[in-house]
């Protein structure tokens, strides 16, 4: 089993569009949407939800106002400023600020603080015409997206091993945050989708540095390659200087936008030349392992 993560330095480069296209081309694979803050791969893969389970991560504190003696110790010792005082003078916990460190429970002389497992969202398994899709929905205000991504990847890897699946293709989140780091750890190769704009080139170099930190093979796909041909050439020169292969250059095509709005990938356009660009990208990925 090989694991491939597709990332981008910034949002809007067309990373998920590329993943949706490769999902139609690659054989014997499982998909993972690692952008749990704004999961959308299920939209363009015609996914049907098969299973959903609560994602439990850490603990959340609560204060029993009947037991609370208002000594203020919990508020004084909470380093996350999660303990609040209501206009009525009651002590409560801000669930979005609480990190479940248990200090308030330890310090409370009235035993008024309890901790319960915290629901942080949902882990989802969906079926698509192109294989299983694992994706998540992180609850609003939660900041442990990296741990959720790791959990989704574990489920996907376990299924891949049980079913003798060749590939786990991971649609990473944009940027260089926790979710991206969790989507890179332990994978076999990384493909960065870039577009020829100044901001995207800056972020391309930044996310490439992150991938290099993990000593991963890196390749590049230039999306919207014809919006600025001089910057496309700049990306190619940079990739060549860093010995990174450019797998494919995909031009702007309004039909791609129309297809995505209809929950379809660029492959459903059935344009032979366009499809060949995505096929070429996947074939070049395979060559990286020969």
Task: Read off the CATH number of the domain in which 84 is found.
Answer: 3.30.70.20
User: What range does the domain containing 97 cover?
Assistant: 59-119
pTM of the model: 0.85
Q: What is the pLDDT of residue 141?
A: 67
Q: Shortest CA distance to 121 belongs to which of 97, 94, 148? A: 148
**Domain edge (last residue) among 101, 119, 137:** 119
Residue 17 sits in a domain whose CATH number is 3.40.50.300
Per residue in 34-63, pLDDT (tens digit) is: 999 888 999 999 899 999 999 887 788 999
Same-domain status, 77 and 34: no
**Domain edge (last residue) among 74, 89, 119:** 119
Same-domain status, 18 and 93: no
Q: What is the pLDDT of residue 97?
A: 86
Q: What is the pLDDT of residue 74?
A: 96
Same-domain status, 78 and 198: no
Contact 242, 251 (CB under 8 A): no
Tell me if 260 is assigned to some domain: yes
Q: What is the pLDDT of residue 262?
A: 86
Q: What is the pLDDT of residue 196?
A: 95
**Full pLDDT tens readout for the chain, 290 residues:** 999 999 998 888 889 999 999 999 999 999 999 999 888 999 999 899 999 999 887 788 999 999 999 999 999 999 999 999 999 999 999 988 888 899 999 999 999 999 988 778 899 999 999 999 999 988 876 666 888 999 999 999 999 999 999 999 999 998 898 899 999 999 999 999 999 999 999 999 999 999 999 999 999 999 999 999 999 999 999 999 999 999 999 999 889 888 888 888 889 888 899 999 999 999 999 998 87
Tell me if 102 is assigned to some domain: yes
Same-domain status, 106 and 135: no
Same-domain status, 277 and 202: yes
Count of structural domains within the chain: 2
Token readout for 223 is 């999306």
Tell me if 52 is assigned to some domain: no
What is the DSSP secondary structure assignment for residue 290, as one 8-state letter? -
Q: How far is CA 135 from CA 125, 156, 232, 264, in A?
A: 6, 10, 32, 18
Same-domain status, 115 and 187: no
**Domain edge (last residue) among 119, 138, 165:** 119
Three-state SS at 76: helix
93 φψ region: left (φ > 0), alpha (ψ -120 to 50), beta (else): beta
Same-domain status, 100 and 187: no
Q: What is the pLDDT of residue 57?
A: 78
Cα-to-chain-centroid distance, residue 43: 15
Q: What is the pLDDT of residue 143?
A: 64
Contact 205, 178 (CB under 8 A): no
Same-domain status, 173 and 278: yes
Same-domain status, 42 and 63: no
Same-domain status, 237 and 173: yes
């Amino acid at each position: 089993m090989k694991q491939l993560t597709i990332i981008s330095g910034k949002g809007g480069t067309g990373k998920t569009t590329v993943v949706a296209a490769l999902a139609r081309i690659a054989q014997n694979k499982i998909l993972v949407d690692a952008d749990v803050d704004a999961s959308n791969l299920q939209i363009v893969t015609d996914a049907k939800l098969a299973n959903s389970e609560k994602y439990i991560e850490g603990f959340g504190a609560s204060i029993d106002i009947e037991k609370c003696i208002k000594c203020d110790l919990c508020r004084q010792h909470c380093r996350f400023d999660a303990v609040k005082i209501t206009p009525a003078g009651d002590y409560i916990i801000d669930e979005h600020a609480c990190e479940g460190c248990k200090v308030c429970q330890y310090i409370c002389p009235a035993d008024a603080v309890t901790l319960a497992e915290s629901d942080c969202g949902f882990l989802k398994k969906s079926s698509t015409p192109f294989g299983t899709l694992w994706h998540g929905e992180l609850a609003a205000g939660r900041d442990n997206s990296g741990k959720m991504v790791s959990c989704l990847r574990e489920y996907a890897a376990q299924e891949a091993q049980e079913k003798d699946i060749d590939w786990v293709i991971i649609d990473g989140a944009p940027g260089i945050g926790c979710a991206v780091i969790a989507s890179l750890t332990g994978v076999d190769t990384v493909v960065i989708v870039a577009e020829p704009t100044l901001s995207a080139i800056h972020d391309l170099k930044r996310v490439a540095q992150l991938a290099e930190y993990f000593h991963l093979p890196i390749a590049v796909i230039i999306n919207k390659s014809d919006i600025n041909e001089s910057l496309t050439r700049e990306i190619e020169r940079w990739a060549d200087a860093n010995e990174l292969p450019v797998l494919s250059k995909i031009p702007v095509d309004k039909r791609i936008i129309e297809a995505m709005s209809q929950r379809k990938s660029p492959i459903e356009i059935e344009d032979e030349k366009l499809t060949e660009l995505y096929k070429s990208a996947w074939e070049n990925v395979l060559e990286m392992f020969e």
